[in-house]
A and B are shown apart, each in its own frame.
Chain A
Amino acid sequence: MIKMKDVYKKYTNGVVAANGLNVQIAPGEFVYVVGPSGAGKSTFIKMMYREEKPTSGEIYIDGTNLATLKNREVPFVRRKLGVVFQDFKLLPKLTVYENVAFAMEVIEAPSDTIRDRVTEVLDLVGLKAKARMLPTELSGGEQQRVSIARSIVNRPKVVIADEPTGNLDPETSWDIMNVFRDINEQLGTTIVMATHNKNIVNRIRHRVIAIEGGLIVRDEAEGVYGYEI
């Protein structure tokens, strides 16, 4: 599903954020990416949806090599992925419904398909009743549910998330993790999640990839967080 081969990333300021990454993620896997601040977790995630281009190496998403991808083909690869962020990245002037529908308008889906599908995913994340509200009228946890709904609305094979619980209180974080679990278990979606949340990683056991200084230092199935914060 996802494959990185000798991926190396040097930012223009000279910082090397990926120093030879080799990794393979199979369809349906749930993977945590852990590591201290500045380790290169976000860079790892960003290269998967082509926000950043690797300086060298190959990155395959569902068979497409992102390293050689032309700029105008980028949107079409992004449509195969769902992306979730710490700061939600919702369009502030659109309602919950419109935010989710936007991702479907982009792929030019017919309007009645959009209506049915958006209602379905909002139901899935428990926000059907708040469809007409604006993001600013929702709690952090609810906003994150909207962004998760948006990420899965086009039935992507992979959802990648960069610290999705980073801005949420522990209680809400568990709720959000349950949504990810449902997506992974019920829909069979591959999930790659960078996280700082030790409790979650240790309690809900999945594969753990630990990154330090742009290198994968540990890769365990059913792993633990392994850092003191």
Chain B
Amino acid sequence: MKFRTLRRHFRESFKTLGRNGWMTFASVSAVTVTLLLVGVFVAIMLNLNKIADDLEHDVEMKVYVELAADEASTTALAEQIRETPGVAEVIYSTRDQELERMVQDFGEDLKLYEQSNPLREAFYVKATEPQQTAKVAQTIDEYPNTYEVVYGEGKIEKLFDFLNFGRNAGLILILALLFTAMFLISNTIRITIVARQTEIGIMKLVGATNSFVRIPFVLEGIWMGILGSIIPILAVVFGYLQFYDYAEPRLRGEMIQILAPVPFLYIVTGILFSMGVFIGIWGSFMSVRKFLKV
């Protein structure tokens, strides 16, 4: 194929968008609706995934050490915890480090405690299996210099159940959504086919090859897919930024965190954009395929 022919196909594909007025509008709307729903669900899913991951990997116990414990007994306690079955990781944190964490989580105001730090030393302990957290915590609680062991307690189990449910439900919803979308779009295409049938027949009559007929259609499909992805991308980006501004300060210091806008929104934008392009290519291939045998 000559370069000028490729240029002709590009020019033609843009012109056809305008010439086909309402058909373009119908197809672009179908893509828009689809991607809007996909965008919202992808955003929810990815965040649920992130929360589940946070919890699964970061379910840690915090073991407070008795204030009375001296350095030797603290070291002994550390050794004891490390050798407890089911313990994966033990990190020691001094009183100063504890205060630093507090300042990070709750703000500079707490710096005034630097004069007389009321906090205890602590061990951050992770279980090899998140589900074993409760059992390990109980064991450690029995040790002589343990003041207290804290973790999500009963909430954790419930959260796991909820997250698993949420992830499965989300997956089913996305599949159902994609199915509906395919149906919606192929219906739109079926309507446009009837109008295109004669057109393609005439093109082939004057000696157009299959690819000569197909390429402008496919390009047109790509433009429609891209046009259809604009509104969903903007909606998800601005919607999420709003939501993030609202939710992020409220979750500060909590175990659960939502995804930061970067790179999350780039990923969602990429997904929506490529889905738009894919739907466009797929749609136009489907719509011309049948009529190229003439």
Contact = CB atoms under 8 A, between A and B. Distances in A.
A93 interface: yes
Interface of B: 1-2, 4-5, 8, 16, 19-20, 198-199, 201-210, 212, 293-294
B4 A108 contact: yes
A75 B199 contact: no
Contacts of A72: 209-210
Nearest to A111: B4
Q: Which of A71, A75, A102, A108 has the most CB of B within 10 A?
A: A75
Interface in A32-62: 49, 51
Interface in A88-102: 89-93, 102
Interface of A: 49, 51, 71-72, 75-79, 83, 89-93, 102-103, 105-108, 110-111, 150
Contact of B2 (A77, A103, A108, A150): A108
B205 A49 contact: yes
Given A78-B207, A93-B16, 12 more contacts: A72-B210, A75-B204, A75-B209, A78-B205, A83-B205, A83-B206, A89-B201, A90-B202, A91-B203, A106-B206, A106-B207, A107-B207
Given A108-B2, A108-B4, A110-B4, A91 B205 contact: no
Nearest to A79: B207
A75 B207 contact: yes
Contacts of B208: 75, 106
Contacts of B1: 108
Nearest to B292: A71
Contact of B202 (A77, A89, A108): A89
A92 to B, nearest CB: 8
26 contacts: A49-B205, A51-B205, A71-B293, A72-B209, A72-B210, A75-B207, A75-B212, A76-B207, A77-B207, A78-B205, A78-B206, A78-B207, A79-B206, A79-B207, A89-B201, A89-B202, A90-B202, A91-B203, A102-B206, A105-B5, A106-B203, A106-B206, A106-B209, A108-B1, A108-B4, A150-B206
A92 B53 CA distance: 58
Contacts of A106: 203, 206-209, 212
A108 B203 CA distance: 14
A42 to B, nearest CB: 14
A226 B135 CA distance: 106
Contacts of B203: 91, 102, 106
A132 B191 CA distance: 29
A93 B202 CA distance: 12
B204 to A, nearest CB: 7
Contacts of A108: 1-2, 4-5
Contacts of B202: 89-91
A45 to B, nearest CB: 12
Contacts of A102: 203, 206
B206 A103 contact: yes
